[in-house]
Every structure is written in C-alpha cells, then in structure tokens.
Amino acid sequence: MTRWAAHVVIATAVALALIAGLASTNFAQGRPVTIAITGDAETMDPMLSAISTTFSVQRHIMEPLVDNDPDARVVPVLATSWRALDTLTWEFKLRPGVRFHNGEPFNAESVKFSIERSRDHARSLLKAYVSLIKEVRIVDDLTVRLVTSEPSPDLVANLANNVYMLPPRHAREVGDEGLARRPVGTGPYRFVEWVRDDRIVLEANPTYWGPKPQATRVTIKPIPEGATRVAALLAGEVDVIESVPIPDIPRVTRSGGYRVLRKQGPRLIFLAMDVHRDRGGRHPAGSPGLPEGAPNPFKDVRVRQAIYHAVNTKEIVEQVMGGAATPAEQILPPFMFGYNPKVRRPIYDPSRAKRLLAEAGYPNGFSVRLDVTTDRYVNDREVGLALVGMLKRVGIDVTLNGMPRLIYFPRMRAFDTSFQMSGWLTLISSSNWAALLGCVDPKTGYGRANYGRYCNPELDRLIDIMRTEMDEKKRLEAFHKAAELTRQDVGKIPLYFEELTRGVKAGIEMPVRVDEYVLAADIKFR
C-alpha cells in the first residue's frame, strides 16, 4: 500500500466509523404514538401562554369547561350543560366524579380558582377571554354561576378557548414554578417527561372520565423545519405530523402508506386599504404608499369595488396556493356562527373593474405600494406577486413591498401603510368583526387588526349587538347585516382561507381540528 493510500484510508475510516453499526439499528416506532409538531411549548402553565402549539400540548393533560369540536361548535367537556339565567349571569353544571391526576376532585372550587387565575394573575395572557367575568359564584359543589359586567353572549365561546381547569390545592402548593414544569389536569393523558425542545412524553390516564384514548403512550416532538417533519414521517419515525408544506403534499400522498388530511381552516387572508387619510405623503400625516400629494383613491367605494372585481381568487388558490386554500365569500368561514349564506364575493371581472375605476376618476389607474409579509402566511410573498399582476391588468400600478413579520406588524399597528395583505384568525365570530372592521377606538377596544382604519358607525352598532345581544336571533341578524354591509362598502377584501394539513401514517384516522391542535386522544387506529 502506498503512503497516500494510507492517508485516504485514515480519512475515510473516520467518516465510516461514524456510520458503522448504525444500519442495524431500527428507528421505526409503531405504537406508542409519536406526533411531530411545529414548535415546543414554552411553559406548561396554561395561563401564561397564548400560542397554539403550546395549547395543543397542554390540551392533552388539561381540559376546559367547554371546547370547540373539530368544526368549531362549542361542546361540553368538564361542564355538562350551561344556560343564561339572565343577561348577566351564566350557570354551568359541572361533570360529577372527575378527579385531577393528583387525586384532587374537580369541582366548583377548581372552576373559581382557574377562572380567577386567568383573570387576575399579573402575567396571564388569557385576560381577553375572561375580563368580562365580574364574579365566580359557587352555588354548590357542581354548580357555578359566572356574573359578567355586561351582557356577554360569547362568554361560553370565550371559555372554549383554552381556559383550562387547574387543581387549586396543588397549584397553591407548587406555585407558578411548579405549574410551569409539572402540569396536573383532568385530561386523557398524564404528564411523564419533558425534555426542552426535544420531546414531551405522556401516558394515558387510567382513571379518565371520558372515552379511553387508543394511543396509550404519546411522544410529542417539536420539529420546526417542514422538510424534516415530512422526512421523519416518511422514514417511519413519527406517526402524525402537523402542517405539511404545500410543495411536499404530492410527495407524501404518492409515497403510499401515508396520507395528507386537509381541511378548510378559519384563518382569513385579506386585503385592506387606507380609507382614513386624504392624500399620499409621508407617514403619519400622509398615506405612505401613495405618491406625495396624490388624492387617496381608496376613499372612493368604487375603487375598492374595482379591486374586489380585479382579484381572481380562484386563480390564486389554484396557481399559487397549490389548491391548499378556499376562496373567501366573506370574513367568516361557512362553519362559524354568523356566516351569511346569501353573501357571495363579487365575480372576477377586470373590465367591470376598469369601468368602476373610470367612473371614480381613475381611467388610467393609479400607483400604490402593497405591503405584505414574507414569512408569516403560507406563500404570502408569492400571493403578493400574483396580486401585482392582476391589478396591473386593470391599470393599477402596484409596487410590492415584502417585509418580515417583525417589521411588518409594528408598522401596521402604527397605520404606516396604504394597502396591505394580512391574515386574521379567532374562533369567536364577534371578535373577528370587532378586530377587523370595528372603528379603531379605545372606548370600544375595537379595531385591533383594522390597519386601514375603516370606520362605519352603522357597522359599529352592529358589532355592539354581536357582542352584547343575548337574543340569538337578533344577534344572528346583526351578523348577516354586517356581512351585507361590508360586501357593499368593501371595508376589507377577503381573499381566501388557508387550509390546515396533517400528514399521517396509513391506518391512522383523526379529525383536522379548526383550532389547529393535534391531539393524540383524537387518534383512531384502523
């Protein structure tokens, strides 16, 4: 053997030594179930986080009084029934015979403790859901009354959003530090182990009050990179993955032995226009996306209608989103309370759009900057590019301004925009209306995502009704009227709803939940 050959052998031997012996190891895991989600939980304290991946992990261990079913309908969990006694008082009957994992009984005391902690803990991020609850009154061991400071028809829907029940004695003993690390709840799974950023291990709760889950031991692995999640699924390391990247969907379905489950989600992607300032110019006095001194075309409803007609949502969904979205008829998806089946989006009609622009005094169109995120929504930048092309066809000259979300959202909140594309999602219908189209006003608290500052007093009155009217029929009427009004006055231009996806091994059945949680208790083996 020559000397250089010896060098090569040394070098390759080091490389091979690392791989040697590994081929015999089998990494495939069957049951118990392993689920790959997009990120780790930050804490096991249910009141100190409001991030959906964290809730998704916690929901295995802890339970709310009521929950959203996979289709966003409110269903009983630890409460068996509820009714409004008067406009300010809700009565909940609690499920009897339920115990926490540490043996503590679940009762009215736990409800009082948990709701008060969500409302009063200095760092609670759930205040929005319970801020209207003035008092939690214990009637008997299994009956509580929630007294609100104003009529709150959405109270039950708010509680369905992650106000989980904690065992009061345990919570007082271990304190915040303990709740953050070792969660105790009433849920279908008990907490076993948590290795930060690597895995969360759970085992089925043998004394669970509800149907026993089929997956008995659960490992939840945070894998942030989409391509790696898909690889882990295809290599048989995990059984279920959250969110399959659009380009990978065909790869998973073609591979055999794996399926992609899909469902229309509640996240709306929409366009909004500055309808507040009169002229273009430097922010904040002028509208920053329009030429200096130019009149703001968006103040004319015909221009807003023209844009609505000029956008071909079907093409965006098919060409840019790979079919993984559904065109939006209005700001709410069909499965949510308050959807108006009579309101449809206007047809795609560029010549009508041109006519409307001419009528509004812009026969040759105008120039504007469109602000979009580049890292927040699925294919956000690409959709922005498609919009530029579509608006060009009717004479509107759009400059695309893509920004990372870190820069985008603070600017939006400061209204430093003339024309923008964003997304919004809650499972509380009235809250969507208030955030997206309510006049920005500290008196009402409305307008959190109303970056174009659309303001219509008539619509605000309807939103007030949505939020306080206890009569369900009158309330629904307000929703329906609001959808019609917004369709005519074009306060926002709804584009589409993103689709939710899960990758699963063949033989696993599970619903895709609209709240985006991936719950092992939902898994059924065939």
Site for another protein in 225-264 (CB under 8 A): 225, 227-228, 231-232, 234-237
Query: CA-CA distances (angstroms) from residue 228 to 26, 35, 244, 505?
Result: 18, 13, 10, 16
Helical H runs in 334-471?
A: 350-359, 380-393, 405-413, 429-437, 457-468
* Binding-site member from 74, 174, 180, 294 for another protein (CB under 8 A): 180
Rg (CA), the chain: 26
Q: Taking CB under 8 A as the rule, does residue 30 contact another protein?
A: no
In the bound state with another protein, the residue whose beta carbon lies nearer, of 8 and 470, is 8
In the bound state with another protein, the residue whose beta carbon lies nearer, of 123 and 526, is 123
In the bound state with another protein, the residue whose beta carbon lies nearer, of 53 and 107, is 53
What is the secondary structure of 63-86 as a DSSP string? -BSEEE-TTS-EEESSEEEEEEEE
One symbol per residue from 182 to 201: x for binding another protein (CB under 8 A), - otherwise; what is it?
A: -------------xxxxx--
Question: Please, what is the minimum distance in Å from the beta carbon of residue 369 to another protein?
Answer: 19
Question: Please, what is the minimum distance in Å from the beta carbon of residue 204 to another protein?
Answer: 23
User: How many other C-beta atoms lie within 10 A of the C-beta of residue 495?
Assistant: 22
One symbol per residue from 6 to 25: x for binding another protein (CB under 8 A), - otherwise; what is it?
A: -xx-xx--xx--xx--xx-x
One symbol per residue from 100 to 139: x for binding another protein (CB under 8 A), - otherwise; what is it?
A: ----------------------xx-xxxxx-x--------
Residue type, 318: E
Question: Please, what is the minimum distance in Å from the beta carbon of residue 124 to another protein?
Answer: 10
Residues listed for the chain: 526
In the bound state with another protein, the residue whose beta carbon lies nearer, of 51 and 75, is 51
Pick the stretch among 71-79, 215-223, 295-303, 304-312 that binds another protein (CB under 8 A).
215-223
Helical H runs in 138-184?
A: 155-159, 168-181
What is the secondary structure of 112-147 as a DSSP string? HHHHHHHHH-TT-S-HHHHTTEEEEEEEETTEEEEE
Contact in structure between 213 and 188 (CB atoms under 8 Å): yes
* Binding-site member from 59, 95, 221, 354 for another protein (CB under 8 A): 221
Query: CA-CA distances (angstroms) from residue 135 to 34, 116, 148, 465?
Result: 41, 9, 7, 23
Question: Please, what is the minimum distance in Å from the beta carbon of residue 209 to another protein?
Answer: 28
Distance CA 503, CA 505 (A): 7
DSSP annotation of 105: B
One symbol per residue from 478 to 497: x for binding another protein (CB under 8 A), - otherwise; what is it?
A: --------------------
* Binding-site member from 1, 4, 211, 254 for another protein (CB under 8 A): 4
Q: Which positions from 40 through 69 interact with another protein, judged by CB under 8 A?
A: 42-43, 45, 48-51
Distance CA 356, CA 363 (A): 9
Q: Which positions from 379 through 438 interact with another protein, judged by CB under 8 A?
A: 405-407, 409-410, 413, 424-426, 428, 431, 434-435
In the bound state with another protein, the residue whose beta carbon lies nearer, of 187 and 447, is 447
Question: Please, what is the minimum distance in Å from the beta carbon of residue 156 to another protein?
Answer: 14
Residues binding another protein: what is the number (CB under 8 A)? 75
- Token pair 């006095």 is found at 285
Pick the stretch among 69-77, 219-227, 482-490, 504-512 that binds another protein (CB under 8 A).
219-227
User: 165-190 b/e with 16+ CB inside 10 Å = b?
Assistant: bbbbbbbeebeeebbbeebbbbbbbb
Q: Which of 168, 174, 111, 167 is nearest to 139 (CA)?
A: 111
Question: Please, what is the minimum distance in Å from the beta carbon of residue 384 to another protein?
Answer: 20
Helix pair 301-310, 380-393: axis angle to 10 deg: 110
Q: Which positions from 140 through 169 interact with another protein, judged by CB under 8 A?
A: 158, 161
- Token pair 């500052």 is found at 453
Q: Which positions from 432 through 451 interact with another protein, judged by CB under 8 A?
A: 434-435, 440-442, 444-449
Q: Which positions from 291 through 320 interact with another protein, judged by CB under 8 A?
A: none
Distance CA 370, CA 399 (A): 6
Question: Please, what is the minimum distance in Å from the beta carbon of residue 486 to another protein?
Answer: 19
In the bound state with another protein, the residue whose beta carbon lies nearer, of 25 and 364, is 25
